[in-house]
Amino acid sequence: MKLSGAVLLALPLVALGLVAQWLLPGATARLATLLMIYVIAVVGTGVYTGNSGIMSFGHCGFMALGAYASGLVTINPRILHVALPHLPPMLHGLAGHSLWLGLVAALLVVAVTALVFGLPMARLGGEAATIVTLGFLVIVYVVLVASGNITRGSQTFFGIPSGLDPLTVMPIAALSVVLARLYKESHSGLALRAAREDDIAATSIGVNIPRERFAAWLLSALLCGVAGALLAHFLGAFSPKDFYFNLTFLLMAMLILGGISTVTGALGGTVVMFVVLQLLRQIEGGATIAGVHLPPMFGLTSIGGALVILLSMYKLRDGLFGLRELDERFADRLAAPGQARTAAGRPGTGVERLVGKLEVDGVGRRFGGLIALEDVSFTVEPGQVVGLIGPNGAGKSTLINAISGVVPASSGTVRLGGHDVAQMPVHKVPLAGLGRTFQNIRLFRNLTVLENVRAAAEAAGARGEAAVTEARAALAAVGLAEMSGRLAATLPYGAQRRLEIARALALRPSFLLLDEPAAGMNPTETNELIAVLRQIREDHSIGLMVVEHDLKLIMRLCDRIVVLNKGRKIAEGTPDEVRADPHVVEAYIGSRAAEAV
Ligand SMILES: Nc1ncnc2c1ncn2[C@@H]1O[C@H](COP(=O)(O)OP(=O)(O)OP(=O)(O)O)[C@@H](O)[C@H]1O
């Protein structure tokens, strides 16, 4: 992502700020200033909500904290004694400073609060996290109301220097948009978006989801804190309810209207909603349009605003501006595939890539009373292709899950290059060298093909252009180079399976664990897949462990085969040995099928 794309997105704000400062009449310029403050708040909320997929009701809490912190630092000292007669003496010296010091105070207070709430909250996803954000909003409100000596409680907090002009707010709004856009394309933003699409798949490429959630939470909190401080200076006087549910729902509506997952959507949704609400507000008091006189219509603004949201959600599920950023629509996303591969190494991941053999030793797994795996042991040599077969319910997927750490083994060890990977946090296992795919495809559906693979390359330590080059090389290896700009969800089925392989390949693993890679493929697609897997093994010296029901594929591809039945290993050997093994024939292949393969 080049800076130019982010700047392009911020240009309309720069233009608005300049026009408002020098060309628009006072009242309209004031509206433009308010609009830009909303942009900061909505784009800020979007940094967390859009990238993590977690709806937040809490960000107005950060705005409130920013407003009060900045208010206390900038309040006119002469008014201070009237407005806050019981202010603790140690806080008296704070008053009377500039807006910029007010913003610094807002950032400090918000950073500390975001840290305290964010660390435990980062472990939560989905509705649980949303409920916590709601709780956060209520807590901030109650604390502000209860801290009357410092905030005037539920009464109006006044005396804040007001009269912000558009040129003061514009650079901050433009910078917020640039920051949000750069964050979205950053290593951290991409990892979080991957987790938003599929947390298990994100973990399988080494994403530390709590860490990425926390980073987004902090950045979005800071932006909202700044927006709150600016709103305080715009209003000059406010109370806690100005930062409560009404504002929360207004900002959420703006975000949803434009499209929750893009900065373009946050920006565009804010502008559209703001303009619509202003127009409705004009009409609500009675107006004459094209010679037709409209009487005052109480509630028109609220009802009209709600209708705009409902209609747009009904017609455009992904918001007015869809899933792609404005600058992406201009950019050439289908650049020629690169073949280069950067040097090995995983800088910044804190995980060493392990090489050597993969040893599965006495692995067992129980689900309650059910023994899904019992005492399974075998070894895969580097570069070897091992097939894992067995009837339905034999424990094949459970074994892949146990090796990759997704479902921890109840007993036994898994060693890679002599190191026990079962002891590692699950997101570190792929970085240590075990890439995997899933029986039911788990792609990041609303990310592009290139982003799906780049997320893995970045998780494994590549950055910037190197990550893109690695991702393109992995896509080329599975024959998807031409599709890099498409959304993953739009790929045909066979291509989706190959994309999952490319994503795992971009981790530069020592072994690839493939769970039914040919499931649902027609014979042509299966033949292509076999060619791809052979090439991968040849080019990258990667060992493969393949779970498959397609015995022809297994027999053609594998050096050795492990056979499971009812959770136990019943045979192991070369394809010829396994094909001739009477236990295997009885349990799985069946005598007629044995003849066929
Ligand atoms: N999360 C789980 N909770 C409870 N039981 C489970 C769970 N996962 C798997 N099992 C059970 O463990 C056994 C092994 O399942 P597993 O999916 O590993 O078999 P499989 O060999 O991959 O089968 P298939 O070829 O049908 O995919 C089955 O009896 C299954 O019902």
Three-state secondary structure call for residue 306: helix
Rounded to an integer, the average pLDDT of 118-133 is 89
**Of 366, 367, 551, best ligand 1 pocket probe by most atoms within 8 Å of the beta carbon:** 367
For 302, residues 6+ apart whose C-beta sits below 8 A from its C-beta are: none
Ligand 1 in reach of 392 Cβ (< 6 A): yes
Reported as a single tens digit per residue, the pLDDT across 63-115 is 999 999 999 999 988 888 888 888 888 887 788 889 999 999 999 999 999 99
For 468, residues 6+ apart whose C-beta sits below 8 A from its C-beta are: 338, 450, 454, 457
Token reading at 67: 């407003």
Ligand 1 in reach of 391 Cβ (< 6 A): no
Position 17 pLDDT exceeds 80 = yes
Q: Which amino acid is at 180?
A: A
DSSP H/E element including 415: strand 411-416
Residue nearest to atom 31 of ligand 1 (CA): 393
Ligand 1 in reach of 372 Cβ (< 6 A): yes
Contact indicator for 243, 64 with CB cutoff of 8 Å:
yes
Residue nearest to atom 17 of ligand 1 (CA): 397
Ligand 1 in reach of 398 Cβ (< 6 A): yes
Q: Which of these, 215, 8, 35, 219, lies nearest to 121 by C-alpha position?
A: 215
Ligand 1 in reach of 397 Cβ (< 6 A): yes
Q: What is the pLDDT of residue 350?
A: 67
Ligand 1 in reach of 365 Cβ (< 6 A): no
Position 593 pLDDT exceeds 80 = no
Residue 495 vs residues 397, 490, 533: alpha-carbon distances, Å: 22, 10, 14
* Ligand 1 centroid from CA 16, angstroms: 59
Q: What is the pLDDT of residue 533?
A: 92
For 521, residues 6+ apart whose C-beta sits below 8 A from its C-beta are: 493, 494, 497, 529
The DSSP line for 449-480 is: HHHHHHHHHHHTT--HHHHHHHHHHHHHHTT-
Position 393 pLDDT exceeds 50 = yes
**Of 388, 389, 397, 436, best ligand 1 pocket probe by most atoms within 8 Å of the beta carbon:** 397
Reported as a single tens digit per residue, the pLDDT across 406-416 is 999 999 999 99
* Ligand 1 centroid from CA 370, angstroms: 10
Contact indicator for 541, 367 with CB cutoff of 8 Å:
no
Rounded to an integer, the average pLDDT of 562-582 is 93
* Ligand 1 centroid from CA 180, angstroms: 42
d(CA 373, CA 110): 49
Lowest-pLDDT range of 141-150, 210-219, 323-332, 566-575: 323-332
Global pTM reads 0.85
* Ligand 1 centroid from CA 373, angstroms: 9
Reported as a single tens digit per residue, the pLDDT across 287-310 is 777 777 877 778 788 888 788 778
d(CA 224, CA 120): 20
Ligand 1 in reach of 390 Cβ (< 6 A): yes
Residue nearest to atom 12 of ligand 1 (CA): 372
* Ligand 1 centroid from CA 149, angstroms: 61
Residue 233, judged by CB atoms within 10 A of its CB (0-12, 13-18, 19+), counts as buried
* Ligand 1 centroid from CA 274, angstroms: 52
Position 345 pLDDT exceeds 60 = no
* Most confident stretch, 38-42, 418-422, 549-553, 575-579: 38-42
* Ligand 1 centroid from CA 419, angstroms: 27
Q: Which residues of 505-535 are buried (b: 16+ CB within 10 A; e: fewer)?
A: bbbbbbbbbbbbbbbebeeebbebbbebbee
* Ligand 1 centroid from CA 442, angstroms: 18
Handedness of CA 570, 573, 579, 580 (dihedral sign): negative
N residues, the chain: 597
Q: What is the pLDDT of residue 317?
A: 75
Residue nearest to atom 28 of ligand 1 (CA): 393
Q: Is 308 or 280 the better-scoring residue by pLDDT? A: 280
Number of the ligand 1 atom closest to the C-alpha atom of 368: 4
Rounded to an integer, the average pLDDT of 164-190 is 95
Ligand 1 in reach of 370 Cβ (< 6 A): yes
Q: Is 293 or 53 the better-scoring residue by pLDDT? A: 53
Q: What is the pLDDT of residue 344?
A: 45
Contact indicator for 460, 346 with CB cutoff of 8 Å:
yes
Residue nearest to atom 18 of ligand 1 (CA): 395
* Ligand 1 centroid from CA 87, angstroms: 64
Q: Which residues of 395-410 are buried (b: 16+ CB within 10 A; e: fewer)?
A: bbbbbbbbbbbbbebe
d(CA 431, CA 507): 7
**Of 365, 373, 374, 396, best ligand 1 pocket probe by most atoms within 8 Å of the beta carbon:** 396
Number of the ligand 1 atom closest to the C-alpha atom of 365: 12
Rounded to an integer, the average pLDDT of 180-204 is 94
Ligand 1 in reach of 367 Cβ (< 6 A): yes
Contact indicator for 398, 372 with CB cutoff of 8 Å:
yes
Q: Label residue 339 by pLDDT band (50, 70, 90).
A: very low
Ligand 1 in reach of 396 Cβ (< 6 A): yes
* Ligand 1 centroid from CA 368, angstroms: 13
Report the percentage of the chain scoring pLDDT > 90: 67
Ligand 1 in reach of 393 Cβ (< 6 A): yes
CA dihedral 111, 114, 120, 121 (to 10 degrees): -150
**Of 376, 398, 399, best ligand 1 pocket probe by most atoms within 8 Å of the beta carbon:** 398
Residue nearest to atom 25 of ligand 1 (CA): 392
d(CA 93, CA 95): 6
Name the DSSP class of 588: I
Q: Label residue 338 by pLDDT band (50, 70, 90).
A: very low
**Of 200, 363, 366, 370, best ligand 1 pocket probe by most atoms within 8 Å of the beta carbon:** 370
d(CA 39, CA 265): 11
Average pLDDT, the chain: 89
d(CA 239, CA 141): 10
Ligand 1 in reach of 395 Cβ (< 6 A): yes
Q: What is the pLDDT of residue 175?
A: 97
Q: What is the pLDDT of residue 324?
A: 82
Q: What is the pLDDT of residue 331?
A: 61
Q: Label residue 590 by pLDDT band (50, 70, 90).
A: low
